[in-house]
C-alpha cells in the first residue's frame, strides 16, 4: 500500500522538482544545474553512454550546441519507495528538439522523442537526488542525424516483463 504520509508527500514533491529541473537544465543549456539533480558520483545510462554524470553533461553540451531550441515535458511520474531514503522513479517524457535546416530555403526540422527516465533516487544529507538514471527510448521520430553516434540507441521499450524499467525494478527488489 502506498504511503501518503506528510513526509512521503513532501519527498514526492522534492523528487518531482528534481525531475523538472533536469528538463529545464537541458532546455536552457544550463548544465551546471545538473549538480542539483545528481548526487556526486551519479551514473547515467543513455544510448551508448554509460558513465559518470560529468561526462554526460559534456556530451550534452556538445550535442545541444547544435540545437537552437528544445523542450522536455514530463507527464506521468510513478514512485516506488523502498526504505526511508531510496526510491525508484519512472517518469514519462516527451522531448522536442528543433534543428536548423541544412540548406538555404529549407525549414527547420523537429525531432520528437518519447522516453522514460528510470531513476534511482537517494536521500543523502536530507536531499533527494538521482544516484543512477537510465533513459529508455519508447519511440523516436528523427528526420535529422541523431547527433553523437547512437545517442538514441540503447534500451528500447517493451510491452512485457522484459521492459527495461520492469527489469530494473525487479533488480532493486521492488515487486507488486
The cell for 164 is: 527495461
- Between the alpha carbon of residue 17 and those of residues 13, 20, 170, the distances in Å are 6, 5, 26
Structural domains of the chain sorted by starting position, each given as residue range(s) with its CATH number in brackets? 6-171 (3.10.450.50)
Whether the Cβ atoms of residue 138 and residue 114 lie closer than 8 Å to each other: yes
The cell for 21 is: 529541473
Which sign does the torsion angle of CA 168, 39, 45, 52 carry?
negative
Whether the Cβ atoms of residue 130 and residue 119 lie closer than 8 Å to each other: yes
pLDDT for the residue 36: 96
What is the rounded distance in angstroms from the CA atom of residue 70 to the CA atom of residue 24?
Answer: 10
Strand partners, 93: 74, 115
Residue 164 phi/psi, 5-degree rounding, is -55, -35
pLDDT for the residue 108: 76
pLDDT for the residue 143: 57
**Strand-pair category, 86-99 with 109-124:** antiparallel
pLDDT for the residue 107: 73
pLDDT for the residue 142: 66
Strand partners, 136: 116
**pLDDT values of the chain reduced to their tens digit, one per residue, 176 residues:** 578 999 999 999 999 999 999 999 999 999 999 999 999 999 999 888 899 999 999 988 988 888 888 999 999 999 999 999 999 999 999 999 988 777 676 777 888 999 999 999 999 999 999 999 999 999 888 655 555 555 666 777 777 888 888 899 999 998 77
pLDDT for the residue 11: 97
What is the rounded distance in angstroms from the CA atom of residue 98 to the CA atom of residue 111?
Answer: 6
Amino acid at each position: 500500500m502506498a504511503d501518503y504520509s506528510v513526509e512521503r508527500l513532501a519527498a514526492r514533491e522534492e523528487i518531482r522538482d528534481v525531475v523538472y529541473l533536469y528538463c529545464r537544465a537541458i532546455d536552457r543549456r544550463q548544465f551546471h544545474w545538473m549538480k542539483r539533480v545528481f548526487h556526486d558520483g551519479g551514473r547515467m545510462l543513455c544510448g551508448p553512454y554509460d558513465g559518470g554524470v560529468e561526462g554526460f553533461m559534456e556530451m550534452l553540451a556538445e550535442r545541444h550546441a547544435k540545437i537552437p531550441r528544445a523542450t522536455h515535458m514530463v507527464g506521468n511520474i510513478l514512485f516506488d519507495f523502498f526504505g526511508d531514503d531510496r526510491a525508484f522513479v519512472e517518469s514519462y517524457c516527451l522531448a522536442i528538439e528543433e534543428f536548423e535546416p541544412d540548406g538555404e530555403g529549407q525549414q527547420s526540422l523537429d525531432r520528437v522523442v518519447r522516453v522514460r527516465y528510470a531513476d534511482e533516487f537517494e536521500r543523502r544529507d536530507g536531499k533527494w537526488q538521482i544516484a543512477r538514471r537510465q533513459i529508455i527510448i519508447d519511440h523516436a521520430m528523427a528526420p535529422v542525424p541523431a547527433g553523437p553516434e547512437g545517442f538514441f540507441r540503447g534500451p528500447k521499450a517493451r510491452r512485457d516483463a522484459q521492459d527495461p524499467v520492469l527489469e530494473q525494478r525487479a533488480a532493486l527488489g521492488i515487486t507488486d
